[in-house]
Structure formats: structure tokens, C-alpha cells
């Protein structure tokens, strides 16, 4: 039985990760910000932890909550979106909300979680997006979100040098039918997560620092 940590698991893709890993018989530790989210995780058989990745004081407590664990898989799934284009400058509160959740939270959990992933020779995956890819950007829609995910990619790619016994990758889930993706998205959360689980199981040392799509395509380093 593997131990899987899923950070940002109360809904959408994170909750589907919990469901599928538990269905596969794995031990799952999963985080949520509020009581309702924690109860959803408990109902699926996960071990719930309270964590708000946008609040440094909350994140600072993570290491002692995980003391003594060895993590075969650790996933940073938490994320928020702002859909404004470059025609509108982001306000400071909007910038802070998106960057704190999508980037700073990941950068704060990495030093706490990666030593535990190294203990198991495991994999750390951060949920990114195809919208993070600079070379193929088609427009300025959701430009703050694009910037935040590009920054997340850099955080993952940089961190790999300090944790050589682990594999670190960014993951593109595709356009998924969630609150963020909307009902018109072509992928169900079940299909996306099924693909991402296969990707995580296939990661090799050569993949370290890469962005990998849900269907297994490797996007290379940045």
C-alpha cells in the first residue's frame, strides 16, 4: 500500500484523486480548508488535514502534522483562476489571491513535503496547465492565471535540484469539467485523473522538472 498526500482535495480534481486512489486501495492523506471539505474527505476514507495554502500560518503547521511519514506520491492540486485579459490590470487583492494560492502555497509546502517524498523515493506533482506554456500561448485571456502557472512550473523545475532522491513534475490535467473548467469542457474529472495517475506511475528520473499532460505527452523543460 502506497501513501498519497493530496493538497487541495475538497472538490473537483483533488477530490477525484482521493476517490480513485482510495478505490485502488492506497492510503490517502488529504487536505481541505473547511469542515465541509474535511467531511467529504473523511467520507471517502481519507485521513483529513486542515490546510489553507493561501495562508502561510496554516501552511507552516504542515510539517509537524506529517512528521514521520514517507510519501510515495504528493500532489499540490490547490488553485484558483481569474479570467480577465491583458486589457484589464489585476487589482492587488486579485493578484495576491491567485499568486498566493497557485505559487506561494506550492513554494511553501515543497520544503516541508519533499524530504518525506525523498524518504520513499517518490513523486511530487503540482497541478499546472497547458495555459502555462509560453511558446504556444494563443491569447491574453486569464493572463494572471497563465502567469501564475508559468511561475509554478519554474518553482517545480528549480526545486528538483535540491531533492535528488525524488521526482518532481508539473501536471496538465487538460480542460476538465469542474467548477473552474465549466460544464462544456471535453474531459470529465474521472478521465483526467485516471490519465494523471497513469502519468505519475510512469514518471522516470528523465522526467524530472517536466510538464506532463494527462495523456502522457511530455512538454519538456522550460
For the chain, the maximum distance between any two Cα atoms, rounded to a whole number of angstroms, is 50
> pLDDT digits over 76-125, tens only?
999 999 999 999 999 999 999 999 999 999 999 999 999 999 999 999 99
Architecture of domain 3-213: 3-Layer(aba) Sandwich (3.40)
Give the pLDDT mean for 175-187: 71
Extents of the domains making up the chain: 3-213
- Encode pLDDT of 158-179 as tens digits: 999 999 999 999 999 987 776 6
Amino acid at each position: 500500500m502506497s501513501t498519497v498526500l493530496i493538497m487541495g482535495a475538497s472538490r473537483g480534481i483533488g477530490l477525484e484523486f482521493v476517490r480513485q486512489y482510495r478505490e485502488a486501495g492506497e492510503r490517502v492523506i488529504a487536505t481541505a480548508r473547511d469542515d465541509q471539505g474535511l467531511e467529504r474527505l473523511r467520507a471517502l476514507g481519507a485521513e483529513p488535514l486542515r490546510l489553507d495554502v493561501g495562508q502561510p500560518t496554516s501552511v507552516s503547521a504542515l510539517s509537524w502534522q506529517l512528521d514521520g511519514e514517507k510519501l510515495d506520491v504528493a500532489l499540490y492540486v490547490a488553485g484558483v483562476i481569474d479570467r480577465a485579459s491583458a486589457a484589464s490590470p489585476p487589482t492587488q487583492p486579485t493578484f495576491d489571491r491567485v499568486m498566493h494560492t497557485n505559487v506561494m502555497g506550492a513554494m511553501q509546502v515543497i520544503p516541508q513535503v519533499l524530504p518525506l517524498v525523498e524518504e520513499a523515493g517518490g513523486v511530487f506533482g503540482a497541478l499546472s496547465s497547458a495555459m502555462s506554456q509560453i511558446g504556444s500561448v494563443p491569447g491574453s485571456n486569464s493572463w494572471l492565471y497563465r502567469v501564475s502557472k508559468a511561475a509554478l512550473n519554474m518553482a517545480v523545475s528549480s526545486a528538483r535540484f535540491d531533492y535528488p532522491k525524488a521526482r518532481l513534475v508539473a501536471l496538465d490535467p487538460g480542460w476538465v469539467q469542474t467548477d473552474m473548467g465549466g460544464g462544456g469542457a471535453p474531459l470529465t474529472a474521472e478521465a483526467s485523473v485516471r490519465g494523471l495517475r497513469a502519468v505519475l506511475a510512469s514518471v522516470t528520473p528523465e522526467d524530472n522538472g517536466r510538464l506532463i499532460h494527462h495523456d502522457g505527452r511530455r512538454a519538456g523543460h522550460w
